[in-house]
Amino acid sequence: MRVLGIDPGSETTGWGVIEGEARRYRLVEYGAIKAPPRERFSSRLLKISNGIEAIIERFKPDVCSVEEAFYATNVKVALKLGQVRGVILLAAERAQVEIAEYSPRLVKQTVVGYGNAEKHQVQEMVRVLLSLKVIPEPHDAADALAIAICHFHHAGAKSRILAADARVKLALSTATRRRSLR
C-alpha cells in the first residue's frame, strides 16, 4: 500500500509518501508546497491544488491521509484551513484516491504515544520510525509523514477488525444453515 500523508496549511502544505504494510513501511519521498502569504488567497489555493494533483499523479498513492481541522481560536485561520483542506480533498477525490482523515491528537497518540506531544517529539519519532538520519524538514513535511504513519497503524487494525467480523458472520450463517437442514 502507498499512502500520501498531507498536513494542510495556507502557506506551507506538507506532504509525505510512505509505502509498505501495517507496521512495516518505508519512506518514498516528502516535501512541501509553499504558497507565499503575499499572494491572493485564491492563488494560494490554486497552487496547493495543482501541487497535490501533481504529487498524486507522480506517486499514485492508494490512500490520501489528511489531517482533520483542529480547533482554532482565530475564526479566519480556521476558515482558511478548511478551504485548504477542501482543495486537497477535492484533488484526491478527482483522482479517485481513497481518503482517510485523522485528528491531530490521534496522529500524536499513534506516533508518539501521547496525544498532547510537542512538535519536536513528533518529528523525532517520525525520524526513528522511518530510520532517517535527520528529522524531515520543514516541520510540515514531518507532520505529513506522521499522518501517513498513523494511517498505516489504523488501517491495519481496521482490516483485522473487518476480517474478524467477516469470520463471525460466516460462522453464524454456517451454524444457521446447519440448523435449518436438520
Active site residues: 7, 67, 140
Alpha-carbon distance 120 to 139, whole Å? 9
Q: What is 95-107 written as a DSSP string? A: TT-EEEEE-HHHH
Look up cell 460466516; give the residue.
170
The cell for 141 is 513535511
By DSSP bridging, strand 12-21 and strand 24-34 are antiparallel
Task: Give, for 17, the enclosing helix (H) or strand (E).
Answer: strand 12-21
Within 6-138, where are the H helices? 41-59, 75-94, 104-111, 119-129
By DSSP bridging, strand 98-102 and strand 63-67 are parallel
Residue type, 157: A
φ, ψ dihedrals at 112, nearest 5°: -105, -30
Alpha-carbon distance 41 to 10, whole Å? 8
